[in-house]
Amino acid sequence: MNNTLKGKYLEPSEHDSLWGLETTCIGTQQIGIQAAYPPRFHPSEYHLDSENGRVLDEYQLVYLVSGNGMFESRHCPLRKIQSGDVFMLFPGEWHSYKPLSDTGWEEYWVGFRGKEMDNKVANGFFNVHSPVFRIGLSVELVNLYSNILDISQKQPPGCQAYISGMVSHMLGLIYSQSMQVKDNTPQVEEMVKLAKIYISANLQCPLYSTQVAQHLKVNHLYFCRRFKQYTGFSPSRYIREMRIQRSKQLLCTTSLNSQQIAYDCGFESSGYFCMAFRKSVGMTPLEYRRLVCSNDAPRT
């Protein structure tokens, strides 16, 4: 699979800095299995050598929506990061990160700086010793990243104030959701873990949240509420997203047609599969295979 990337680097003015928060960059990229990281798109001052790391003069929020990887910084020992994690980069703080070669990942990032953020750090809301936040998969957070990217590309008057307001929204959302996840007990974590295993093993079959709750022997409403709190997705949405992720793998690693992939991933029909895929990914399955999957990927 090839890398796909969309991004925008901004040049805030001195006047923009008076707002208290200024946005410097925004983007999203999907890193394929065994693909080089990072892509060469980024300006030299943002270049990341995963072996030697780097130091930035700004904050960044990097959000993983699929895949797994590794992260470390001067104050955070090497640790695994996964889909649903946000990690924060701090100005002047050495750091390094990269996706695992056997999973790749899809990430969103936004860079920013200003007194507003400095005050949040000074008051203990964010700190260099705890830069990774487990918030789960959040549609609201993805939409904020996407909206900032869209507005940054158009750059209407007052753009910096507008998008920096959305960055503040993101910071509040991440802080709030990370606090909610901390409130989950080990029993809830185990329930969600077992639910994910059951869902993964039964994606090819008709699958509903009631079945999962019944399998786990827990109340259906309790299960749905806790699952969404922990992952950011309702069980039904999570099932659909996992089917989409599996279909992406099959498109890139097999020669199966859309009908066969729809059946293998548990979609009701090839028509529904194509509609759901396009809604989630922004292109049809065939377009995804042609544009994202490399021609030399092994097909069976």
Structure tokens at 215: 């399998």
Task: Please give the model's pTM, rounded to 2 decimal places.
Answer: 0.66
Q: Is the pLDDT of residue 295 over 70?
A: no
C-beta separation of 50 from 70 below 8 A: no
pLDDT grade for 297, boundaries at 50, 70 and 90: very low
Task: Report which of 111, 97, 16, 11 is spatially closest to residue 57, judged by C-alpha positions.
Answer: 111
pLDDT tens per residue, range 116-127: 999 999 998 999
According to the model, what pLDDT value does residue 296 have? Answer: 42
According to the model, what pLDDT value does residue 92 have? Answer: 96
Question: What is the separation of C-alpha 44 from the centre of its chain, rounded to a whole number of angstroms?
Answer: 24
> 3-class DSSP state for residue 27?
strand
Structure tokens at 294: 């490399």
Structure tokens at 137: 């998969």
Alpha-helix residue ranges (DSSP H) falling in the chain = 14-17, 115-122, 139-154, 159-182, 186-201, 209-216, 220-231, 235-253, 258-264, 270-281, 285-291
